[in-house]
A and B are shown apart, each in its own frame.
Chain A
């Protein structure tokens, strides 16, 4: 049975699209037929992060409005087998995302995919609500920072009240926490909320911690999801997220502070 997974956070700029791209790529690398959908209608960016921006012909809204078939709009990823991207529309069409329309597309996708990853826009407006409405599981992306934690908490409330599963009284959406932009050094100095702080506050199971890393910007610069950067700590941390999501028990990594020598302390990083 195909699973619908929403990647959401409430707050913008915390790494939803980065996480969606790497998570979907990781699922596909494991042999799962995976599609990742950009729900940010009007502000599409998943195509850039996935590196397929020049191959967008039709988009999500075209399919919703029956202007193209799903097959025409799906973009096959060039780096990874089993991976497809459904880009958002760039024109702002608020009313395009209807419950019926989204349901129709998801139902059709469920026939041929194992995982449907929904990259939610920021906020709690229509796009974000539609991204989470049909979800079976949710990945909550949170930075160890006050506004992100509060907004994640708010989103958890919405998942529990406004999702289809909640309204139907079905089994609740399974929630997974991904903490991004984590800096062990700043946590050690008492400047940043720790993993325990964030998990205490949100009280949902942790599926991974992505360390603050230059490689994330490098990956978005070049349009290759950071999970492909197997040398980088954040790439490996995303690979761990995928493994844990699929039930593998792995210890957390990249949480200790690198000890620097005197020279690098003086001359910087």
Chain B
């Protein structure tokens, strides 16, 4: 916090260094996310869920899509957890 006196002394917290730190963190995170997940993934996930939902009632969090990269191949891994008891599902919906 900046004190009343600091204001008159012209002392301020150097916000530029705060900006740089925040950017370093967010850019690192976005780079990591960018390399792990191709940008078609969210749409792919949504569409697969739509198709599956036509036949089975599934929770929208029940689908997991992962892309793994090896040196010379990529593996697209799909996991859909189907509800165990239909009655329970009907009740919860």
Contact = CB atoms under 8 A, between A and B. Distances in A.
Interface of A: 145-146, 149-150, 153-154, 157, 187, 189-194, 197, 200-201
Nearest to B38: A161
Given A189-B12, A191-B12, A191-B14, A146 B27 contact: no
Interface string B46-70: 0000000000000000000000000
A66 B61 CA distance: 49
Interface string B9-52: 00010111101101110110011001000000000000000000
Nearest to B27: A153
Q: Which of A154, A187, A191 has the most CB of B within 10 A?
A: A191
Of all A-B residue pairs in the complex, the 6 with the closest CB atoms, nearest first, are: A190-B14, A197-B20, A190-B16, A146-B19, A193-B16, A153-B27
Given A150-B26, A190-B12, A191-B12, A157 B20 contact: no
Contacts of A157: 31, 34
Contact of B22 (A146, A190, A200): A146
Contacts of A150: 23, 26-27, 30
A80 B16 CA distance: 40
A189 B10 CA distance: 10
23 contacts: A145-B19, A146-B19, A149-B23, A149-B27, A150-B27, A150-B30, A153-B27, A153-B30, A157-B31, A187-B16, A190-B14, A190-B15, A190-B17, A191-B14, A191-B15, A191-B16, A192-B16, A193-B19, A193-B20, A197-B20, A200-B20, A201-B23, A201-B27
B12 A154 contact: no
A216 B27 CA distance: 30
Nearest to A157: B34
Contacts of B17: 190
A146 B22 CA distance: 8
Contacts of A192: 16
